[in-house]
Amino acid sequence: MEKITADDIRYPDLAEKRFNTRYTGKPESIFIPGSAEDVVTAVQAAADSKRRLAVRSGGHCLEGFVSDPAVQVLIDMSFMNNIYYDRGRSAFAVEAGATVGEMYRRLFLGWGVVLPAGEHPNIGVGGHVLGGAFGFLCREYGLAADHLYGIELVTVDRSGKAHIVTATREESDPNREVWWAHTGCGGGNFGIVTRYWLRSPGSDGSNPATALPKAPSTITTFRVSWDWNNFDKTKFSQLVGDFGSWAQANSGPESPNRQLFSLLFLNHRNLGKLEMKGVCTAGPQAMQLIDEHLAAIADPLGLKYTRQIEETAWLQFALNPFPELFQPGYDKVKAKIKDALLRRPFSKSQIATIYKYLTGSDPVGGGLGMATYGGRVNAVMPEATASAQRDCILDIACNTGWADPAGEAASIGWVSNFYKDLFADSGGVPVPNADNGGCMINHPDTDLADPKWNSSGIPWHTLYYRDNYPRLQRVKEKWDPGNVFYHALSIRP
């Protein structure tokens, strides 16, 4: 395996591969391993020379954990992208460098199955699954990590030696704790995952076609759009309140509506539209579920709206979901996302805060997205996986993006103050309590570790991991005792 440095024609492509172009990095060397043994070699070289190391799979990190000027050695996993059924493990093997889209394609065409994972096909499996990973099908089938059977991982031991270890969820596996940590710890914490093994709990894996959930044959999508100008504060409150009430009534593990996943886009008024988009996998019942959903949220407003409903073959949808969301240029964005999981709908005063920020005169682009959560995600105990939030009804995110660097300060200031005011009752952050569930580590936000933005007295790790953090620290102590793998929000030894 070659070491690629700045004088190599491949360097600019490799060094600049990232979704969030807000961050930059200039590693001294980049490795593209083709096997777990190659990863051991690269990690050992970095550890021996005491160089700061980071791993990248899909490059979709929302914070600068990989694209950090302090990172000296970058390990790019994109050559390790095999996907196959491993008869020896009775589970699907997916190498860390595969994209979510390629995984959807291979699992579907090969066996008609699906891993319920994230929404954007270019996300890397490597940094995604170990963060829990929610998406369009999570209410029906749970998080991606709920179907994680095992991992192959390169770690560095107390003596500084790099090793390949495997760990599975089998009770008898002596390495089970490090498997558990990878069901929600987030990337860059204990080592480099080279391969995931996937098999749903309850399947013995003897038949690949039932080792993961059966994929839907078709998916019904809906899109609703309103003219922002038709909303005053009362109508806006009604829309946000009704969306929250629907989520609350339909977030239980047995909800008859768990095959429906819905997103409300509360855009800044200067973008002109408020929108809802969603998917339903209920086949012939889909239209009825969508009609009932819109009857609970859109119709009571009494405002004119456009409505578009389409049935699409599953794979076509999975590889290009809602194309209008991911248009050219979207992958060159500079962005800041501030995420929260809710246990109850927004209160009246929170809705007033949202209205204020979305109708102000600030020259920014952005908004607040609300995604329905729960369903089968809430069927799992908080300690069964490292993804502790098993009692939430909504995942929300205040977000902003800008292209011109001159817009950064205004955009960041707007989104940070918006989030802080939204959670003003709990120190500017969604402290886990009766109303909030904390935050999702796949959407990391370093502000949570900054007392300027988190005055709750509750540390960032409680927001992400709740009561699971001490256990994750014990795993860290055992599997990365030298803290070789770290970033701004990594598990502290």
DSSP symbol at 330: G
What does the DSSP assignment read for 84-105? EEETTTTEEEEETTSBHHHHHH
Detail the DSSP E strand segments found in 365-411.
Answer: 366-372, 394-402
Q: Please, what is the minimum distance in Å from the beta carbon of residue 330 to ligand FAD?
A: 8
- Of residues 119, 111, 106, 148, the one with CA closest to residue 58: 119
- Kindly report the CA angle at 198 between 193 and 203, in degrees rounded to 5? 150
Q: Please, what is the minimum distance in Å from the beta carbon of residue 338 to ligand FAD?
A: 13
Residue with smaller CB distance to ligand FAD, 65 or 355:
65
Q: Which of 60, 106, 147, 336 binds ligand FAD (CB under 6 A)?
A: 60
Nearest residue to ligand FAD by CB is 187
54 scored as a contact of ligand FAD (CB under 6 A): yes
Q: Please, what is the minimum distance in Å from the beta carbon of residue 175 to ligand FAD?
A: 16
Q: Which of residues 309-348 bind ligand FAD (CB under 6 A)?
A: none
Q: Which of 124, 244, 367, 369 binds ligand FAD (CB under 6 A)?
A: 124
Residue 92, token pair as written in the block: 């699907």
42 scored as a contact of ligand FAD (CB under 6 A): no
128 scored as a contact of ligand FAD (CB under 6 A): yes
Q: Please, what is the minimum distance in Å from the beta carbon of residue 441 to ligand FAD?
A: 8
Residue 32, token pair as written in the block: 């593209």
Q: Which of residues 407-466 bind ligand FAD (CB under 6 A)?
A: 442-443
Instruction: Give yes or no for a contact between 96 and 124, defined as CB atoms under 8 angstroms apart.
Output: yes
120 scored as a contact of ligand FAD (CB under 6 A): yes
Q: CB atoms < 10 A from the CB of 16, how many?
A: 13
27 scored as a contact of ligand FAD (CB under 6 A): no
126 scored as a contact of ligand FAD (CB under 6 A): yes
Q: Please, what is the minimum distance in Å from the beta carbon of residue 340 to ligand FAD?
A: 14
Residue with smaller CB distance to ligand FAD, 131 or 278:
131
Binding segment for ligand FAD (CB under 6 A), chosen from 28-36, 58-66, 201-209, 456-464, is: 58-66
Measured between alpha carbons, how far is 60 from 55 in angstroms, rounded to an integer? 12
Q: Which of residues 186-205 bind ligand FAD (CB under 6 A)?
A: 187-188, 192-193
Measured between alpha carbons, how far is 347 from 358 in angstroms, rounded to an integer? 17
Residue 453, token pair as written in the block: 């933005």
Long-range Cβ contacts of 387-390 (<8 Å, 24+ apart)? 387/132, 387/143, 387/145, 387/146, 387/183, 387/184, 388/184, 388/438, 388/465, 388/466, 388/467, 388/468, 389/341, 389/437, 389/438, 389/440, 389/466
Q: Please, what is the minimum distance in Å from the beta carbon of residue 239 to ligand FAD?
A: 23
212 scored as a contact of ligand FAD (CB under 6 A): no
Q: CB atoms < 10 A from the CB of 124, how many?
A: 28
Chain contacts with ligand FAD (rule: CB under 6 A): 19, 54-62, 65-66, 77, 96, 118-120, 123-124, 126-128, 131, 133-135, 187-188, 192-193, 442-443, 487
